[in-house]
Amino acid sequence: MSYLVFARKWRPQSFEEVLSQDHVTITLKNAIDTDRIGHAYLLTGPRGVGKTTTARIFAKALNCEKGPTSKPCQKCDSCRNITSGNHLDVREIDGASNRGIDQIRDLRERARYATASGKYKIYIIDEVHMLTNEAFNALLKILEEPPESVVFIFATTQPRKVPDTILSRCQRFDFRRIPVSDMSKYLKKEAASEGISLDGAALSLICRASGGSMRDALSLMDQLVSYSGNDINGTEVAKLLGMVESDLLYEITSGILAGNTSRAIDHVSNALAEGYSVDELLDALVVFLRNLLLVATGAEDSLSEVPESESRLLLKLSENLPDIAVLNILRILSSATIEVKRSNLPRITLETAVMTASKLSRVFSIDELPPVAEKAVERHRQTGNETSPEEEKESMEADCSLEEKEQSPVKASENNGIIEDTAESVEDAEEDSADDKDDEEKEKETSRKILGLFDAV
Ligand SMILES: [Zn+2]
């Protein structure tokens, strides 16, 4: 038997086998069962999510010798011919290469003839948005008065390019991207039935690379089996796809979060030594942090696109993690993605960003700052004991006006950037116990900065 690529070998043959598009398949099945079959259907959605597959199954359901039935028998001549693409009454047309008026005129003529053997004459036009305006006009004529037994099924990734006059004559079905959880379960099961083993990291990378397109995922599987045989692991997938493994991203991120700059930088060096480019690593890191932010803010439902193995790592990292901390790190690294593209020394830009981000993780110990601030204020009171009541009043008034000032958002964001300075100034202020005016000013400045910092956080 000749070699069949997975996308063909595993192509769903019945409505029940179509993955993650129940909202479409159930409606189509009901339409067949209640004998409410329309003349034109428009299937829209991203590539590789089952549009043409569903169109073929629909054709089979209509023309099965036991049909129309929502459960085509798969055994009769009609079912088998449709599966192999040889049914005389089911024509598949690629809109991209048959986009002119002549082809559509020809189609219009043929559609008027009686069916060869099936009950319905079915035209599946893929990428229908590629047709020219003239071709659409010719198509419109036939849609306005369709012959009794003709059914059109249009598929497109860009429904906005289809004229309204056509759209209004079609029943429209929107296909969705295949959620990572469904895709990964499906791939694992199908691969196991072929004796192919996939570890969690490999599955996660394939799903991430496919962007929700099953066709892309299956093409990757073909490539991977040729590359590494029947035992596919994450390291090999990462190498082949130039994708950074979640474990590596986890290590770098946890180094940054722990304020452990050397650990974070070591893992960056390891990743670069393994052959990832600076761009690839940084992009992957930004996506990973974005997902971490979703977990940290509690929007875990939005993580349906993240493979299970990765969400486990994200949950582990997000324990007791303030979302503002992730947001700050994400800001630093995403601005680095732009700098890296301009820089002659992208590696240094990346390393600097990672260092800055890991230094910023000190912001987590913000809880420890209030006592320091109180101490500074307390000491200010003690050293200022000899001040006259008038002076004290004056300084209190000054404090009040400062508070008002610092509540403005602009001030708050400015303070974000001077966390380091603040920490140092606190230490400086503690070291010098001299009670001259300069020092008092310094301490006042410090408490102002710290107060502003709380507003920011
Ligand atoms: Zn059949």
278-322 confidence digits (pLDDT tens): 988 999 899 999 989 988 888 777 776 677 777 888 888 888 888
Whether residue 5 has pLDDT greater than 50: yes
List the one residue out of 183, 194, 191, 251 whose CA is nearest residue 217. 183
Mean pLDDT of 420-449: 50
CA of 53 to the centre of ligand 1 (A): 16
- H-run or E-run covering 440: helix 437-456
Give the domain 6-174 fold.
Rossmann fold (3.40.50)
| Domain regions of the chain by residue span | 6-174, 180-241, 246-365, 384-456
Neighbours of 83 (CB within 10 A): 16
List the one residue out of 418, 249, 411, 407 whose CA is nearest residue 330. 249
CA of 76 to the centre of ligand 1 (A): 4
Q: Is the peptide bond before 409 cis (omega within 30 degrees of 0)?
A: no
Radius of gyration of the chain (CA): 32
Contacts of 217 (CB under 8 A, 6+ apart): 48, 183, 187, 206, 207, 209, 210
CA of 41 to the centre of ligand 1 (A): 22
Whether residue 448 has pLDDT greater than 80: no
Whether the domain at 180-241 and the domain at 246-365 fall into the same CATH topology: no
Choosing among 3.40.50.720, 3.40.50.300, 1.20.120.160, 1.20.272.10, the CATH entry for 246-365 is 1.20.272.10
Give the domain 180-241 fold.
Helicase, Ruva Protein; domain 3 (1.10.8)
361-400 confidence digits (pLDDT tens): 665 544 444 444 455 555 556 665 544 444 444 444 444 4
Task: Tell me the whole-structure pTM to 2 decimals.
Answer: 0.65
| pLDDT attached to residue 400 | 43
Q: List residues, by chain if needed, whose CB lies under 5 Å from ion ligand 1.
A: 64, 72-73, 76, 79
CA of 152 to the centre of ligand 1 (A): 20
Q: Which residue has the higher pLDDT, 5 or 79?
A: 79
| pLDDT attached to residue 367 | 46
| pLDDT attached to residue 377 | 53
Pairing type for strands 90-94 and 40-44 reads unpaired
Residue whose token pair is 């595993």: 10
State the pLDDT confidence band at 240, using cuts at 50, 70 and 90: confident
| pLDDT attached to residue 442 | 58
| pLDDT attached to residue 101 | 83
| pLDDT attached to residue 373 | 47
CA of 65 to the centre of ligand 1 (A): 5
28 close to 172: Cβ distance less than 8 angstroms: no
CA of 80 to the centre of ligand 1 (A): 7
84-128 confidence digits (pLDDT tens): 999 999 999 998 888 888 888 888 888 888 777 778 999 999 999
| pLDDT attached to residue 163 | 95
% the chain with pLDDT above 70: 77
**Whole-number Å distance between alpha carbons of 225 and 41:** 37
7-44 confidence digits (pLDDT tens): 888 899 999 999 999 999 999 999 999 999 999 999 99
| pLDDT attached to residue 160 | 93
Whether residue 49 has pLDDT greater than 90: yes
Question: Which letter, b or e, does each residue of 364-390 get, where b requires 16 or more Cβ atoms within 10 Å of its Cβ?
Answer: bebeebeebbeebbeebeebeeeeeee
CA of 147 to the centre of ligand 1 (A): 24
CA of 395 to the centre of ligand 1 (A): 90
Q: Which of 114-118, 215-219, 234-238, 269-273 has the lowest mean pLDDT?
A: 114-118
329-362 confidence digits (pLDDT tens): 999 999 999 999 888 999 999 999 999 998 876 6
**Whole-number Å distance between alpha carbons of 54 and 32:** 14
**Whole-number Å distance between alpha carbons of 338 and 283:** 10
Q: DSSP for 27-50?
A: HHHHHHHTT---SEEEEE-STTSS
**Whole-number Å distance between alpha carbons of 55 and 344:** 51
Strands of 90-94's sheet, edge to edge? Answer: 90-94, 121-126, 150-156, 40-44, 171-174
CA of 38 to the centre of ligand 1 (A): 21
Give me the helix-helix angle, 246-257 and 308-318, nearest 10°.
10
Paired residues of 153 in beta bridges: 41, 124
CA of 121 to the centre of ligand 1 (A): 16
CA of 101 to the centre of ligand 1 (A): 34
129 close to 45: Cβ distance less than 8 angstroms: no
The CA distances from residue 371 to 80, 407, 427, in Å, are 78, 21, 13
